[in-house]
Amino acid sequence: MAFYSEKVMDHFANPRNIGEIKDADGIGEVGNPVCGDMMTFYIKVKDDKIEDVKFKTFGCAAAIAVSSMVSEMALGKTLKQVIDLTNADVAKALDGLPSNKMHCSNLGADALHKAIENYKTKQGK
Ligand code: FES
């Protein structure tokens, strides 16, 4: 039996930045083919920085903790800094995930990157 770190439990029990931004500048959605879980990120961008970020996750405890952590890591950062953020960075920030839950961490940064791509497409960049 694998156990979650205290950070994972904290972000799962008290997720940060949960919700939806109605007038989002970019939206990114990813699904996990392994388990069918879904994650959607909404971003507001100002001066090339993430001014606001919210997420909705239909998934396991690890997926919710990953969403919460990645949203905290992205807030206030430049788009470039967020694009450079990897799924491994997020798992590390959570003090790791059990090996059978590592696939759950693959949703977080991917969904956020998609939201940035969506923003750039809308901007014609
Ligand atoms: Fe589906 Fe974790 S079991 S994302």
Per residue in 2-27, pLDDT (tens digit) is 689 999 999 999 999 999 999 999 99
From the list 88, 101, 94, the residue with the least C-alpha distance to 32 is 101
Active site residue 104: yes
Active site residue 60: no
Q: Which residue's CA is minimally distant from atom 4 of ligand 1?
A: 104
- Residue 1: the pLDDT is 45
The domain total for the chain is 1
- Residue 100: the pLDDT is 87
Judge whether residue 92 has pLDDT over 50. yes
| Spatial contact of 116 and 43, defined as CB atoms under 8 Å apart | yes
In a domain, 108, yes or no: yes
* CATH, residue 68: 3.90.1010.10
In a domain, 72, yes or no: yes
Give the length of the chain: 125
Cα 83 to ligand 1 centroid, rounded to whole Å: 22
In a domain, 58, yes or no: yes
In a domain, 92, yes or no: yes
Does residue 59 line the site of ligand 1, with CB under 6 A?
yes
Does residue 110 line the site of ligand 1, with CB under 6 A?
no
In a domain, 24, yes or no: yes
How far apart CA 115 and CA 44 sit, in angstroms, is 10
Domain span at 105: 6-124
How far apart CA 45 and CA 26 sit, in angstroms, is 8
- Residue 2: the pLDDT is 63
In a domain, 68, yes or no: yes
- Sign of the CA dihedral running 35, 116, 121, 18: positive
Q: Which residue's CA is minimally distant from atom 3 of ligand 1?
A: 60
In a domain, 1, yes or no: no
